[in-house]
Amino acid sequence: MSKFDFKTPVIYILLGIILILLVLMRRMDESNNVSKEQTLEKRIQQLESKIEDVKNIQKQRPPKIEPETQQKPAYKGRIAIIIDDFGYRNDYVTDGFLALKADLTYAVIPGHEHSYFFSEKAKKAGFEVIVHMPMENTGKTYGEEQFVLKTDMDVETIQRRVRTAFNQIPAAIGMNNHQGSKASADQRIMSTIARVLKEQNKFFVDSRTTVETIGETTMKIFEVPTASRNVFLDNDDDEEKIAAQLMKLVKKSQEKGSAIGIGHVKPKTLNVLKKHIPELQKEGFKFEFVSKMLH
Ligand SMILES: [Zn+2]
């Protein structure tokens, strides 16, 4: 019995050790397998993520092209066109201008039969509206007796007239001058206008009806946002000549990055714009409101 008693625990211990070893081996084996599985899984994951990356790149390709075409540096030139002398008429010509598919700025003379009506209609149609302020010429100054700014007027009269113009054309966010070859060269007149524009938070575009104009420099002194006309489109009422002037404006926009042209409410000017604006847009020129070209 005692012999048997002595051997049995040893056998049990040995059996136990063997069992433990077996279990350990099995575990090692399992963990080996697990790590193999893990590396396999990792590889699969890596492959999958690579496939995803490729898919994503393919997906990104079409939208990548879109923002590129929408980016501004892609434009060949930025062009602002102001059409002057609205307010006199409300007919097929004014309607024609309101049907143009471009951001254009329409300058309305205050005090005329259609001034308010047209300015509201233009704003509603998505165009930019400014006051086309009558100013004294060196030669004869025609019409707009209630609004024209003259060099012999006192400061109060000039201020009142500018304020009244904006009251009558509430859609207007800025101003340019109608005629004014004398008044736009007058420091007192231009400073008075600048103060009112500053107070009303409006901008001034110098139509440059004289080389002696001090419009832009005066506005800068009074910190009124400003710019100047580069090209007159329709001094000659002839479609070929208007088109040639438009091309001059286009060329200038290409050289300088942007350029400002001024035309008038005339059927021939309308015809030229109707024909050439879509072509120029296709060629990569951008038509913008003049308010985007101020400095
Ligand atoms: Zn004018």
Task: Give the helix/strand (H/E) hosting 192.
Answer: helix 187-200
Backbone angles phi, psi at 98, to 5 degrees: -75, -15
Task: Kindly state the tokens that stand for 131.
Answer: 């006051």
User: How many Å lie between the centroid of ligand 1 and the Cα of residue 283?
Assistant: 30
Q: What is the pLDDT along the chain (295 residues), one digit of tens a residue?
A: 445 566 777 777 788 788 888 878 877 766 666 565 666 677 767 767 776 776 665 566 555 444 544 555 679 999 999 999 999 999 999 999 999 999 999 999 999 999 999 999 999 999 999 999 999 999 887 788 999 999 999 999 999 999 999 999 999 999 999 999 999 999 999 999 999 999 999 999 999 999 999 999 999 999 999 999 999 999 999 999 999 999 999 999 999 999 999 999 999 999 999 999 999 999 999 999 999 999 9
Distance CA 295, CA 278 (A): 28
Distance CA 225, CA 197 (A): 9
User: What b/e sequence results for 65-74 when a residue is b if at least 16 CB atoms lie within 10 Å of its CB, and e otherwise?
Assistant: eeeeeeeeee
User: How many Å lie between the centroid of ligand 1 and the Cα of residue 113?
Assistant: 16
User: How many Å lie between the centroid of ligand 1 and the Cα of residue 84?
Assistant: 5
User: How many Å lie between the centroid of ligand 1 and the Cα of residue 133?
Assistant: 8
User: How many Å lie between the centroid of ligand 1 and the Cα of residue 263?
Assistant: 9
User: How many Å lie between the centroid of ligand 1 and the Cα of residue 186?
Assistant: 18
Distance CA 106, CA 130 (A): 6
Distance CA 197, CA 189 (A): 12
Contact between residue 197 and residue 220 where contact means Cβ atoms under 8 Å apart: no
pLDDT of residue 82: 98
CA-nearest of 121, 128, 85, 109 to 293 is: 128
- Alpha-carbon distances of 250 from 78, 262, 269, rounded to whole Å: 8, 13, 15
User: How many Å lie between the centroid of ligand 1 and the Cα of residue 203?
Assistant: 17
CA-nearest of 100, 137, 98 to 114 is: 98
Angle between the N-to-C axes of helices 155-168 and 187-200, in degrees from 0 to 180, rounded to the nearest 10: 40
User: How many Å lie between the centroid of ligand 1 and the Cα of residue 48?
Assistant: 68
Backbone angles phi, psi at 102, to 5 degrees: -165, 155
User: How many Å lie between the centroid of ligand 1 and the Cα of residue 177?
Assistant: 7
User: How many Å lie between the centroid of ligand 1 and the Cα of residue 234?
Assistant: 12
User: How many Å lie between the centroid of ligand 1 and the Cα of residue 286?
Assistant: 25
pLDDT of residue 160: 98
User: How many Å lie between the centroid of ligand 1 and the Cα of residue 77?
Assistant: 26
CA-nearest of 243, 240, 248, 228 to 273 is: 243
User: How many Å lie between the centroid of ligand 1 and the Cα of residue 129?
Assistant: 14
* Ion ligand 1 contact residues with beta carbon within 5 A: 84-85, 178
pLDDT of residue 32: 62
User: How many Å lie between the centroid of ligand 1 and the Cα of residue 32?
Assistant: 90
Q: Kindly report the pTM of this predicted structure.
A: 0.76
Q: Where are the beta strands (DSSP E) in 142-251?
A: 174-179, 203-206, 226-228, 231-232
Task: Kindly state the tokens that stand for 162.
Answer: 């500018």
User: How many Å lie between the centroid of ligand 1 and the Cα of residue 149?
Assistant: 14
User: How many Å lie between the centroid of ligand 1 and the Cα of residue 46?
Assistant: 70
